[in-house]
Amino acid sequence: MPASVSNYGPAPSLLELVDTPFYSQRQYECGPAALMTVLTVSGVETTLDAVTRQVYLPGRQGSLQSELLAATRAAERIPYVVAPALASLTGELAAGRPVLVLQNLGVSWAPRWHYAVVIGADKENEQIVLRSGTDERRVMRTALFLRTWKRSGFWAVTVLSPGELPADADRDRYVEAVAGLEQTGHNQAAREAWRAGLLHWPDDAGVQFGLANTEYVLGNFAASESLYLDMLKEDSSSLIARNNLAMTLVALGRNDAALEQIEMALEHATGSPLLEILQDTRRITLDSMQSTVD
Amino acid sequence: MRSTIFRNFVVRFVSLSILSLGLAQASGAAMIGTQQGIQSEARDARIMHVQAILSRTDVAEQLVLFGVDPAAVQSRVGNMTDAELLALEGGLDKQIAGGDAVAVIGVVFIVLIILELMGVIDIFKST
């Protein structure tokens, strides 16, 4: 096991979130039980039956990873897949969040896939504490835990409330997670998450773009206009910002300004993979001018 | 038999309602989505989005076939990202399903059948 994975990280050497609730699993339903645990800690009010309905797959006698992520979004929370390292788990624990992990308790050719929730780590005694299956407090040697976790590709997810940042503040993972929330239509939650991101990474174009797009979807066109303009101030060649600015101006009824922006973008778009989209925007702008005249 | 017909009907119905959901989301196509914008190849992401809309139907059908209550399917596929939908398309049975079941698959299964036919084991006999 490489040290980069098995290192406990800078978190306190003895951690245990003793107040984490425990939901004993029914047969094959470790996924619902583990998800219920982390959602409840995040303040989601739900029931084990409701969560089971969202993630249990009878024909497979189990739950898929992507369904756990989707159900987290359904609860207006951000499923944040942490980096594959023990330090990611201890970092989240130190921030008060237990972490849902996927383990293979069997072997590669006869796997026994199991979801559990890491609630504690003891560096001195080399132990990991979990809410696991029907075990309210399962203590595993760290080395064994890491072996079972490794077989799942170190898959682990923590549940963030909109506005919370992950302990490792990994920009790419955060943007990916919030973009997923936005793509599935949870725009209010996404807006709050982008705003929190913008406080931490004020000049990041990806985060600005995310917030601007979310404001657009929510119909706050003035807010998205000013965010796209911020992006263009930093990088006047950003075609994605200029395209969406033009669409925003159309929505605001400022078709002339929109046309000016999209023509400016098209001037620099020769050979760009975005060309087709920019042309669509130009057409939409012209249509809008036409219908205003009519 | 009757339940098969009913199930097929349900699958079709769910497919249709979900397909229309996806198409509704795809309109306003000239806005570049965040996911699309942060990927280096925005055009690929756009194609991926269209494919994902189509694969949503496939994933929904599979969920019903794997025993999910049709009433819950819409919310389950509706909260998946494009990338997640595409990963599941045509392969719900190939994904890891965490649930403590010890799956005996592939080569192991064939070995067991051979052993069974040779009379070495009788794991498949129902008593």
Report d(CA A174, CA A177) in Å as an integer.
5
Average pLDDT, chain B: 73
Distance in angstroms (rounded) separating the CA atoms of residues A80 and A159: 6
Confidence band, pLDDT 50/70/90 cuts, at residue B43: low
Is the pLDDT at B59 greater than 80? The verdict is yes
Quick one: what percent of chain A has pLDDT higher than 70? 99
Interface size A-B, in CB pairs within 8 Å, comes to: 172
CB contact under 8 A, B43 and A276: yes
Residue A103 has pLDDT above 90, yes or no: yes
pLDDT at B28: 54
How far apart CA A55 and CA A35 sit, in angstroms, is 9
What would the mean pLDDT of A79-92 be, rounded to a whole number? 97
Among B18, B31, B36, B111, the strongest candidate for a mutation testing the A interface, having the largest count of A CBs within 10 A, is B31
CB contact under 8 A, B96 and A281: no
Note the ipTM here: 0.89
Measured between CB atoms, does A199 come within 8 Å of chain B? no
Whether residues B79 and A70 touch (CB distance < 8 A) is answered with: yes
SS3 breakdown of chain A: % helix, strand, coil, rounded to 5? 50, 15, 30
Token pair listed for A67: 């369904």
CA distance A276 to chain B (A): 8
pLDDT above 80 for A91? yes
Q: Which two tokens stand for residue B3?
A: 């339940």
Per-residue pLDDT averaged across A129-134, rounded? 96
Residue type at A70 in one-letter notation:
A
What is the nearest CA distance from B10 to chain A, expressed in angstroms? 17
pLDDT of residue A4: 86
Is A44 in the B-facing interface, judged by CB distances under 8 Å?
A: no
pTM value surpassing 0.90: no
In the stretch 100-159 of chain A, residues with CB closer than 8 A to chain B read 102, 105-106, 109-115, 133, 152
Out of B30, B67, B95, name the one closest to residue A281 (CB): B30
What residues of chain A, 203 to 222, have a C-beta less than 8 Å from chain B?
206, 209-210, 213-214, 216
Which residue has tokens 């996927």? A102
Q: What is the average per-residue pLDDT within A193-207?
A: 96
Given a cut of 50, whether residue A85 has pLDDT beyond it is yes
Tens digits of per-residue pLDDT, A145-173? 999 999 999 999 999 999 999 999 999 99
Length reported for chain A: 294
pLDDT of residue A273: 84
Residues 6+ apart with CB under 8 A from B26: B49, B50, B53
Residue type, A6: S
Exposure b/e, A58-87, CB count within 10 A at least 16 = b: eebbbbbbbbbbbbbbbbbbbbbbbbebbb
Mean pLDDT of the A197-226 span: 96
Residue numbers in B near A214 (CB within 8 A): 34
Please state which of the ranges A44-58, A152-166, A178-192, B83-97 shows the lowest mean pLDDT: B83-97
> Is it the case that residue A105 has pLDDT exceeding 90?
no
Average the pLDDT over B16-43 and give the result.
60
**Chain B residue closest to A58 (CA)?**
B67
Q: Do B76 and A67 touch (CB under 8 A)?
A: yes
Closest CB to A53: pick one of B33, B35, B69: B69
> Which residues in chain B are contacts of A54 at CB distance < 8 A?
72, 75-76
